[in-house]
Chain A
Amino acid sequence: GAVVSQHPSRVICKSGTSVKIECRSLDFQATTMFWYRQFPKQSLMLMATSNEGSKATYEQGVEKDKFLINHASLTLSTLTVTSAHPEDSSFYICSAPQLAGVLNTDTQYFGPGTRLTVL
């Protein structure tokens, strides 16, 4: 199946620093990617939709100036957590849909996730 990678898998940073997380679709192109956030023992919550060549679409309540998203190419989206604080500590997961045929029965493939800890 399709593969989506994320880097880094784990990051620990000091409060006030910025952290960049990369999401790559390894064997297919994705004009759209999604960024989710997951708190411990909770479900995945969509943060934003990353669009190649245009601005990201943020979900209600997600600060776009804090969570910067750049979809630089058809295989790469980056999420930058700016001026990170302890409350930003979470598990961040990206996904990319792989289209399948004329029925657009795409399937979302998820990256392995990035565990961010802000001290």
Chain B
Amino acid sequence: AQKVTQAQTEISVVEKEDVTLDCVYETRDTTYYLFWYKQPPSGELVFLIRRNSFDEQNEISGRYSWNFQKSTSSFNFTITASQVVDSAVYFCALSSAGSARQLTFGSGTQLTVLP
């Protein structure tokens, strides 16, 4: 069975601070995909990143960066110089390899960035 754990239920930071959201996963698959989604108060899920299990290269996109550590089954997400607009619930998710697979979501982390 697959499992995604986001131990941080809520995080509050002051604007311009850096913040890291943790994600630990469990799977028996040798090939899998990891995702991060942002859910603002409007409710719509916004896709942020997909990482394949065979690609451990870390990725940076603007103020966002992701650290994939296969050895510790973690896929952490860092926001640099946070902004108020970053306030949202962030979900880490996992899917098996192959097409059209459903996602297993973590419980989400509520990030609040204070002005």
Contacts and interface: CB of A to CB of B under 8 A. Distances in A.
Contacts, number: 63
Contact of B35 (A41, A43, A108): A108
Nearest to B98: A104
B85 interface: no
Given A43-B91, A105-B52, A112 B43 contact: yes
Interface residues of A, number: 29
Contact of A46 (B44, B45, B102): B102
Q: Is the interface on chain B under 10, 10 to 19, 20 to 34, or 35 or more residues?
A: 20 to 34
Interface stretch (B15-23, B65-73, B75-83, B105-113): B105-113
Classify the secondary structure of B's interface with A: loop
A106 interface: yes
A110 B97 CA distance: 19
Contact of B43 (A46, A91, A104, A105): A91
B61 interface: no
A95 B103 contact: yes
B90 to A, nearest CB: 11
B47 A107 contact: yes
Given A42-B107, A107-B47, 13 more contacts: A31-B100, A32-B100, A34-B103, A43-B91, A43-B108, A99-B100, A103-B52, A105-B33, A106-B99, A110-B47, A112-B43, A113-B45, A115-B43
